[in-house]
């Protein structure tokens, strides 16, 4: 890997001024910040080091835990909404977004399970859900949640939208039908083996008839119960004049079943209960795979649960009353205290403050607001108490609109799947027609052959393998993609990734992490050293929520700052160990110190932000904060170029980043781009018939993202850009994302192979079945085997990639 | 050969038991996450040294 040391915990490069190490089994491990160190010590202290060996994703940088947020887990309204259980035994479902691999789940389970009050805890990485059962007398929920958050995982209550809930229910139901069909199939097959062997033995007809009746008794409930979704689907659609793939299948099942029953009752011919159940079982496997693929997509769309408070303070009858948010109407006055989330879209009536709309718009810097300014629901009030007049009803606010944008994307199907479905549909008409002709022909040749031949033809021609070809490959590939950190929100992504010519990156927040880190510390007064100034700065910055204050929050300091006074969006003053200090922007320091001869900086790099620390008389230190490049940006760009893709960078910043400028051709690096410029740039490329992938994060990227052929939003990005994007990248390391290209092409190669195989199989078997050479059980076996081939072929997707993932996602040891 | 009149109905009984167990498992979410459990056997919690367990008891 690179020359830079990477943090053993979070995998990000360690900034040059940081020298934190920990020892693990006599090996020195570098840490990038106190936050990572604290988590490591917790994990190590509990003997859970195996987490580092087996994890497949790197964790997010640990954030400071907010006491207020924790306390919200114990509030009345939270308990009412999310907690169930009687007496002191309570249950709750939580959503832990960054719990992405089994090692995370294992870590959480083992770390929290034996904490006081916790009775039962299960972590599920598929829907990132943690189920807790606890004794509310021995521990408050917030205490348990705190243990999880201490490990660096952010926790919110688990909420599902109705679509997911419905699909989960459907999956559970289908799984039961599938499992029972499987168990029954094995049983009936066993009887069938006895029947086939029976002829060679000295079994009497009585024995054989008994076994046949037994297979009838086992097969009947299975056909009715497990076959129900197929029959229901086939015949309910026919009423609406639609023909589905289930129709010939349902007819084949019914003919085979009734034919066997007839043969059994009148002692004529063979019974096909074994073929019926086996056929059913494999059909259900296909359905289950498809449902799983759909569920995975909707579950991954359940991404971040930003939530508004359940209740808010509203002025009614000249009193502040706490009422449910959904009851807040237009033109009501809402009170929002410091640190609260603004619950409504509206304008400020009273109060001046600064708010952070980062969650909604991606704008990381706080915005100063005064009366008559507009605010949107979901923003956080960072300063003084505000009174806000609501201007939109609950269901019309910006936040709800974002959610509905998100929901609209769930139901779509990829284009090639639609094509396959159309092909399969024509196939079905042909198949039904063929079956009728064959039964007539055979009726004149030999009536006893009509049933077996028709069943065989219906089964053999069933485009099951064809219909499985795409969904199975997609399920496997979607699962693998999630492991690379790419969450697909729209189904065409896989298809489109395969055809991309140009990759366009936004810079801030995409090629860079979007989080500030202290890149350089300059001490301007000899009586202070680096550690001292960092400590003073940390003590003061503790009192600020400003993004530029964040990197200081992880630094430990010995004592507290006193007499602190913050000026919003500018700076902080306070007394630390007997001395008064000021920290903030150059303007702030200039105005407070009333001194003009200040350390002057002529070369201002836009990627750098400078924070100044001063005493009452002089500036003692400056901190350069840098929005650092993500790890392995260079390798990723090189690789993309090696794959023959053109890499472009479009940025709103006026100064190009020094490092990037060396890696990317000048004409493909455009600085000072407005959102409109970016849209035009993409349009120009598309006019040249090039397929464009756009990767961005901010609110200003939303129009560009929807313009591109495929768009990917960064997970830290704004809600709106995520709603506009086709996929969301939640990993830290860009190289992981590169894997998705090879995965997409691999997936399509597999789909092509599968289709080729399925069509080839159907075409070769049809003549044999028509000629009556293939008995129904062989037809069912052949169909099942061809479906299995498709399934197994799909499961090999990403096999060769497995090792590369391990290499790229894990922090270098 | 008359043993089959006893043994085959017995297989049906076993089948019913299997079905009941399976339905129980599905209803209790045993199939929700098939990956983590398989991997969890690879991961082992090391026995924690004395000083750590001491601090842990203080907490609880």
CB within 8 Å: A176 and B33: no
Q: Tell me, what's the pLDDT at A587?
A: 76
Tokens (6 digits) for A684:
């120009």
Residue numbers in B near A179 (CB within 8 A): 22-23, 26
Top residue of B12, B37, B45, B51 to mutate, by most chain A CBs within 10 Å, is B45
CB within 8 Å: A210 and B46: no
Q: Tell me, what's the pLDDT at A182?
A: 94
CA A56 – CA A594 distance, rounded (Å): 54
Share of chain A above pLDDT 70, in %: 83
CA A528 – CA A79 distance, rounded (Å): 50
Tally Cβ neighbours within 10 Å of residue A193: 11
Strand partners, A386: A336
pLDDT averaged over chain A?
78
Residue A525: what are its φ and ψ, rounded to 5°? Answer: -125, 130
Tokens (6 digits) for A155:
């926790």
CA A664 – CA A503 distance, rounded (Å): 12
Residue numbers in A near B29 (CB within 8 A): 124
Of A47, A106, A115, the CB nearest to B47: A47
Of B31, B43, B47, the CB nearest to A106: B43
β pairing state of A579-584 and A346-350: unpaired
The confidence band for A550, taking pLDDT boundaries of 50, 70 and 90, is confident
Q: Which residue shows structure tokens 């909604």?
A: A360
Q: Tell me, what's the pLDDT at A299?
A: 66
When pLDDT is averaged across residues A785-800 and rounded to a whole number, the result is: 78
For the purposes of burial, counting CB atoms within 10 Å of the CB of A497, is it exposed (0-12), middle (13-18) or buried (19 or more)? buried
Question: Cα separations (Å) of B51 from A44, A46, A282, A573, A762?
Answer: 13, 11, 57, 42, 69
Q: Tell me, what's the pLDDT at A807?
A: 46
Query: Which distant-in-sequence residues (6+ apart) come within 8 Å of A343 by Cβ?
Result: A308, A309, A312, A325, A328, A334, A336, A377
Lowest average pLDDT, out of A74-78, A410-414, A500-504, goes to A410-414
Residue numbers in B near A50 (CB within 8 A): 42-46
CA A121 – CA A807 distance, rounded (Å): 31
Structure letter (DSSP) for residue A810: S
Residue A347: what are its φ and ψ, rounded to 5°? Answer: -125, 155
Question: Is the per-residue pLDDT at A808 higher than 50?
Answer: no
Closest CA to A676 of A720, A716, A707, A722: A707
Q: Tell me, what's the pLDDT at A622?
A: 84
Share of chain A above pLDDT 90, in %: 5
Q: Which residues of chain B have pLDDT under 50?
A: 50-60
CB A248 within 8 A of CB A230: no
CB A382 within 8 A of CB A545: yes
CA A469 – CA A782 distance, rounded (Å): 16
Question: Strands across the sheet with A646-650, in order?
Answer: A486-488, A727-729, A710-714, A692-696, A502-506, A646-650, A669-670
Residue numbers in B near A105 (CB within 8 A): 33, 36
pLDDT in tens, A124-166: 877 788 889 999 888 888 889 988 988 888 887 777 666 677 8
Alpha helices in A542-628 (DSSP H): 586-593
Q: Tell me, what's the pLDDT at A307?
A: 55
Residue numbers in B near A103 (CB within 8 A): 39, 43
Q: Tell me, what's the pLDDT at A223?
A: 94
Strand partners, B4: none
Closest CA to A417 of A406, A409, A405, A425: A425
β pairing state of A353-356 and A367-369: antiparallel
pLDDT in tens, A222-268: 999 999 998 998 888 888 777 777 787 788 889 889 888 988 888 87
pLDDT in tens, A283-296: 888 788 777 766 76
Q: A301 vs chain B: nearest CA distance in angstroms?
A: 18
For the purposes of burial, counting CB atoms within 10 Å of the CB of A483, is it exposed (0-12), middle (13-18) or buried (19 or more)? buried
Residue numbers in B near A48 (CB within 8 A): 45-46
CA A765 – CA A705 distance, rounded (Å): 47
CA A42 – CA A62 distance, rounded (Å): 13
CA A723 – CA A308 distance, rounded (Å): 18
CA A455 – CA A758 distance, rounded (Å): 19
Is A518 in CB contact (< 8 Å) with chain B?
A: no
Helix axes A464-483, A273-301, angle to 10 degrees: 30
Structure letter (DSSP) for residue A340: P
DSSP character string of A674-719: -HHHHHHHHHHHHHTT--EEEEE-SGGGHHHHHHSSEEEEETTS-H
Closest CA to A506 of A718, A274, A200: A718
When pLDDT is averaged across residues A207-220 and rounded to a whole number, the result is: 90
Question: Is the per-residue pLDDT at A616 higher than 90?
Answer: no
Top residue of A106, A118, A202, A210 to mutate, by most chain B CBs within 10 Å, is A106
pLDDT in tens, A523-545: 887 788 888 888 888 888 877 77
Residue numbers in A near B60 (CB within 8 A): 115-116
CA A790 – CA A755 distance, rounded (Å): 9
pLDDT in tens, A694-746: 888 755 666 677 778 888 887 766 555 666 677 878 766 777 778 788 888 88
- What ipTM does this complex have? 0.78
- The pTM of this model reads 0.63
Which of left, alpha, beta for A133 (phi over 0: left; psi -120 to 50: alpha)?
Answer: beta
For the purposes of burial, counting CB atoms within 10 Å of the CB of A19, is it exposed (0-12), middle (13-18) or buried (19 or more)? exposed
pLDDT in tens, A763-787: 888 888 888 788 777 777 787 788 7
Q: Tell me, what's the pLDDT at A186?
A: 92
Tokens (6 digits) for A599:
């350390």
CA A348 – CA A334 distance, rounded (Å): 10
Tokens (6 digits) for A561:
């700052």
CA A713 – CA A726 distance, rounded (Å): 8
DSSP character string of A261-272: HHHHHHT-S---
Top residue of B3, B12, B16, B19 to mutate, by most chain A CBs within 10 Å, is B19
CB A83 within 8 A of CB A91: yes
Q: Tell me, what's the pLDDT at A806?
A: 45
Question: Cα separations (Å) of B41 from A56, A102, B11, B37?
Answer: 16, 11, 33, 7
CB A195 within 8 A of CB B8: no
Residue A713: what are its φ and ψ, rounded to 5°? Answer: -105, 150
CB A366 within 8 A of CB A569: yes
**Nearest residue in chain B measured CA to CA from A105:** B36
Share of chain B above pLDDT 90, in %: 32
CB within 8 Å: B1 and A180: no
CB within 8 Å: A203 and B1: yes
Question: Cα separations (Å) of A523 from A155, A622, A628?
Answer: 39, 7, 22
Structure letter (DSSP) for residue A341: B
CA A392 – CA A328 distance, rounded (Å): 9
For the purposes of burial, counting CB atoms within 10 Å of the CB of A674, is it exposed (0-12), middle (13-18) or buried (19 or more)? exposed
């Amino acid at each position: 890997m690179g020359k830079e040391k990477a943090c053993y915990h979070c995998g990000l490069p360690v900034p040059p001024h940081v020298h934190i190490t920990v020892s693990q089994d006599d090996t020195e491990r570098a840490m990038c910040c106190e936050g990572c160190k604290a988590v490591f010590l917790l994990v190590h202290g509990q003997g859970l080091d195996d987490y580092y060996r087996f994890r497949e994703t790197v964790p997010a940088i640990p954030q400071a835990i907010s006491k207020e947020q924790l306390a919200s887990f114990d509030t009345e309204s939270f308990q009412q909404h999310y907690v169930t259980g009687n007496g002191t035994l309570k249950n709750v479902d939580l959503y832990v977004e960054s719990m992405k691999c089994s090692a995370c789940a294992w870590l959480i389970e083992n770390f929290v399970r034996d904490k006081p009050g916790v009775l039962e805890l299960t972590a599920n990485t598929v829907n990132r859900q943690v189920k807790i059962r606890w004794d509310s007398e021995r521990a408050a929920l917030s205490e348990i949640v705190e243990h999880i958050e201490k490990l660096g995982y952010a926790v919110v209550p688990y909420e599902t939208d109705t679509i997911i809930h419905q699909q989960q229910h459907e999956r559970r139901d289908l799984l039961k039908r599938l499992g029972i069909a499987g168990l029954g199939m094995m049983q009936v097959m066993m009887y069938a083996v006895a029947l086939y062997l029976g002829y060679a033995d000295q079994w009497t007809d009585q024995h054989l008839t008994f076994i046949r009746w037994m297979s009838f008794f086992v097969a009947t409930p299975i056909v009715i119960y497990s076959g129900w979704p197929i029959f229901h689907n086939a015949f309910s659609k026919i009423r609406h004049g639609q023909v589905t793939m289930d129709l010939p299948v349902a007819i084949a099942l019914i003919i085979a079943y009734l034919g066997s029953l007839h043969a059994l009752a009148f002692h004529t011919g063979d019974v096909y209960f074994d073929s019926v159940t086996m056929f059913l079982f494999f059909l259900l496997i296909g359905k289950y795979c498809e449902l799983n693929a759909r569920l995975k997509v909707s579950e991954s769309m359940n991404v971040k649960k930003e939530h508004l408070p359940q209740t808010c303070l509203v002025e009614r009858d000249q009193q502040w009353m706490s009422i449910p948010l959904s009851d807040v109407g237009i033109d009501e006055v809402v009170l929002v205290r410091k640190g609260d989330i603004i619950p409504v879209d509206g304008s400020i009536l009273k109060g001046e403050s600064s708010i952070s709309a980062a969650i909604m718009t991606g704008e990381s810097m706080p915005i100063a607001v005064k009366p008559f300014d507009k605010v949107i629901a979901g923003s956080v009030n960072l300063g003084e108490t505000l009174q806000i007049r609501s201007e939109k009803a609950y269901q019309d606010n910006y936040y709800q609109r974002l959610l509905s944008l998100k929901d609209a994307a769930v139901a779509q199907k990829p284009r090639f799947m639609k094509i396959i479905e159309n092909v399969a549909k024509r196939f079905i008409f042909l198949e039904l027609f063929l079956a009728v002709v064959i039964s007539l022909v055979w009726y004149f040749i030999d009536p006893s052959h009509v049933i077996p031949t028709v069943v065989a033809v219906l089964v053999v021609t069933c485009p099951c393998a064809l219909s499985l070809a795409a969904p199975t490959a997609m399920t496997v590939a979607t699962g693998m993609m999630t492991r690379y950190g790419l969450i697909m929100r729209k189904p065409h992504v896989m298809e489109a990734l395969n055809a991309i010519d140009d990759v366009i990156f936004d810079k801030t927040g995409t090629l860079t992490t979007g989080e500030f880190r202290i890149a350089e510390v300059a001490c301007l007064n000899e009586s202070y050293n680096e550690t001292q100034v960092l400590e003073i700065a940390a003590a003061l910055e503790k009192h600020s929520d400003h993004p530029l204050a964040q990197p200081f929050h992880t630094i430990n300091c010995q004592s507290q700052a006193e007499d602190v006074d913050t000026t919003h969006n500018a700076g902080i003053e306070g007394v630390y160990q007997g001395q008064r200090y000021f920290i903030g922007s150059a303007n702030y320091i200039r105005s407070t110190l009333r001194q003009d001869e200040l350390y002057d900086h002529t070369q201002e790099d836009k990627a750098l932000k400078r924070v100044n620390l001063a005493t009452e008389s002089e500036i003692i230190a400056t901190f350069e904060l840098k929005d650092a490049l993500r790890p392995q940006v260079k390798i990723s760009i090189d690789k993309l170029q090696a794959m023959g893709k053109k890499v472009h960078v479009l940025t709103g910043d006026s100064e190009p980043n020094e490092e990037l400028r060396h890696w990317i051709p000048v004409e493909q690096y455009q600085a000072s781009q407005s959102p409109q410029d970016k849209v035009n740039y993409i349009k120009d490329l598309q006019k040249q018939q090039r397929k464009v992938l756009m990767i961005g994060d901010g609110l200003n990227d939303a129009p560009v993202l929807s313009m591109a052929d495929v768009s990917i939003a960064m997970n830290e990005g704004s809600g709106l850009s995520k709603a506009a994007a086709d996929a969301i990248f939640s990993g830290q390391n860009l190289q992981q994302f590169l894997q998705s290209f090879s995965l997409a092409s691999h997936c399509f190669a597999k789909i092509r192979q599968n289709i080729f195989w399925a069509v080839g199989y159907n075409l070769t078997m049809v003549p044999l079945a028509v000629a009556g050479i293939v008995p129904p059980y062989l037809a069912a076996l052949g169909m099942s085997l061809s479906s299995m081939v498709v399934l197994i072929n799909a499961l090999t997707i990403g096999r060769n990639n497995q090792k590369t993932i391990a290499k790229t996602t894990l922090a270098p040891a | 050969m008359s043993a089959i009149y006893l043994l085959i109905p017995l297989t049906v009984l076993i089948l019913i038991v299997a079905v009941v167990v399976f339905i129980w498992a599905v209803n209790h979410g045993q199939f929700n996450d098939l990956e983590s459990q398989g991997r969890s056997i690879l991961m082992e919690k090391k026995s924690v040294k004395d000083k750590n367990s001491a601090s842990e008891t203080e907490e609880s």
